[in-house]
Chain A
Amino acid sequence: MDADSDVALDILITNVVCVFRTRCHLNLRKIALEGANVIYKRDVGKVLMKLRKPRITATIWSSGKVICTGATSEEEAKFGARRLARSLQKLGFQVIFTDFKVVNVLAVCNMPFEIRLPEFTTNNRPHASYEPELHPAVCYRIKSLRATLQIFSTGSITVTGPNVKAVASAVEQIYPFVFESRK
């Protein structure tokens, strides 16, 4: 097995975080009263609303900014965000669905081999940071993609990036380095 042979790696997207604006002031008390599946955090000044069908949790601020987490793909995130905006519209607010943006994508990938972390860190000095006293994984940052990878000795890699494409490119980029330091 060498690094050039085609290896199909399953990248499982576990979380997609997106934001959008409603361009209108939202009355949180009204949402808390008339919305179902809602938690009102009065001390912080936000409302948590959970949708069932795309399993999404939305954090709603009175300024009209909404953050949705829990989706498993970018499309599902948009799907859920629009449903949320529609629910707010039904509650009586003049909602306009604008500035939708996927902010963060978290994915997990399993390599079919174990990785020697000290060797990997020595070979990838400036980008890789390994402190076993703090965290069992190596933290590898790819500045160009704005992605961070956490590489565990078991071969499991957790990737966070600004979108799904960046995450996939990050895994592609890291594979040869990780392959070099495999067990």
Chain B
Amino acid sequence: MAARGRCPECGSGSLVEDAHYAQQQLVCAACGCVLSEGLLTTTYTDEEHLREVAYSQSTGQKEQLSRCLQRGIRRVQDLCKVLQLPAVFEDTAVSYFQRALQLPAFHLVSLEKKELLGGCCVFVACRQHRWPLTMGTVCSLLYARQELFASVFLSLQRELGLSVPALSLADLVTTHLNSFRLVQPTASVPAPFLEDKEQLLARTMAIVELASETWLVTGRHPVPVVTAAAFLAWQSLRPGPRLCCPLARFCRLAGVDLPPPAHLRLRELLEILLGMASQLSWLRGFRLDKRTVVKHIGDLLQHRLLLLKRAFSQQDGQGQQDTAPGQGSGSQGSLDKGSGSQGSLDKDSGSQGSLDKESGCPWAGKQQRGGSLRPLLPPCLIHPRKRPRPAAPSAPAVALTGDEPISDSEIEQYLRSPEEIRAFRKAKAWP
């Protein structure tokens, strides 16, 4: 826009207002002389009148969030690549992560938790697609503490309202055994210790099913049970050279970690198997112990249902608690049905006679064939830990209302006397 005035250099009247970068200048169009220029910076007073934008409303925060989101998504994708998951899992996990990061519960938390959030999303995606991934695996990949992972997982489930199906034990067995190194010949594994994968898998699956029927799996961590079952299956498939190999060595040869509860699960499984073996007629003559029973695991698994019924009382601790008579007759009925269906099994013709004898008396069956029937209960009920329980409070003689009068003498016991206070002050130099 032409401004009024004349250029002092050439006298031309064509003056233009132009901006040299951010600086306004009045310039002569003919000779280019700069007549005047504006201020490059604002003054303090000018800035005071500028409208201030809060950080939360500025784009700065959104940029921060998107940076965090991008980092998190990259992490989720890396985790999926490491675990070799299909693309669908990755997409699901990323979508969960994006949704979760919008919520205030995950938006304003520590970086550690945000990393775990990515791991949780992958874990949830795997569980929803029935991919057997354990928390232990994810925690070890993320170098995370299990308690923190657990809290992030539970809050993710709650905030997003996700339905996470239970871990399938069968799939877990398959995946866990895939990581065993005993199926291929290697330098570290002696020849007698190599095993066919399919046979090992089938037998381990059967032992795990036995464990779940006998209360060894409920409420327990699944991996130690699978490890113990795999060990027993491996030993039983070729007992000769393998009986002398302990569980720790087996895990070392297989190239898997030995979880600490595996020894306990192994002991519990052997107890169950010994109980079942006592009911197998052709084994009754032998004195079986934890080592020798392994040789007969194949037979025990084949007749597992019948042996479980015979070896363990189906009632709650006979002689310890009262059972309703209805229960007793109900289970008798099932036992008779059971024995009828097993009529084709000729192994135990003698036992059928004794079973008929017993059907007259209630299904206590404790004294049959020299073994006492242990009830089929969770192990913590069979071997309760001796805890000093406080005596159950007896009903008070006078029902409390909470508004009883309070006597001074009752309160005096909670206050120190002046002498005590003086002594205390002296001793502690209370300021």
Contact = CB atoms under 8 A, between A and B. Distances in A.
B191 interface: no
A35 B400 CA distance: 26
A86 B221 contact: no
A95 interface: no
B402 A134 contact: no
Contact of A129 (B157, B221, B414): B157
Interface string A105-134: 000000011101110011001100111111
A87 interface: yes
A75 B218 contact: no
A133 B136 contact: yes
Interface string A67-102: 000001111111100110011001100000000000
B219 A117 contact: yes
B166 A154 contact: no
Contact of B403 (A78, A87, A136): A78
Contact of A132 (B221, B377, B404, B424): B221
B39 interface: no
A137 B218 CA distance: 9
A33 interface: yes
A137 B416 contact: no
Interface residues of A, number: 47
Nearest to A138: B219
Given A72-B393, A133-B135, A154-B378, A35 B402 contact: no
Given A74-B402, A78-B402, A118-B218, A33 B414 contact: no
Contacts of B215: 114, 153
Nearest to A12: B392
Contacts of B134: 133
Interface in B220-244: 220-222
A40 to B, nearest CB: 11
Given A83-B406, A122-B166, A129-B157, A35 B219 contact: no
9 tightest CB-CB pairs across the interface, nearest first? A78-B402, A136-B219, A75-B400, A153-B218, A75-B402, A87-B414, A79-B402, A133-B135, A134-B150
Interface of B: 134-136, 146, 150, 153-154, 157, 163, 166-167, 215, 217-222, 316, 321, 324, 326-327, 377-378, 380-381, 392-393, 399-404, 406, 408, 410-416, 421, 424-425, 430
Given A36-B413, A133-B134, A134-B154, 12 more contacts: A33-B425, A34-B416, A36-B415, A53-B410, A74-B402, A75-B400, A82-B406, A122-B166, A129-B157, A132-B217, A134-B135, A153-B219
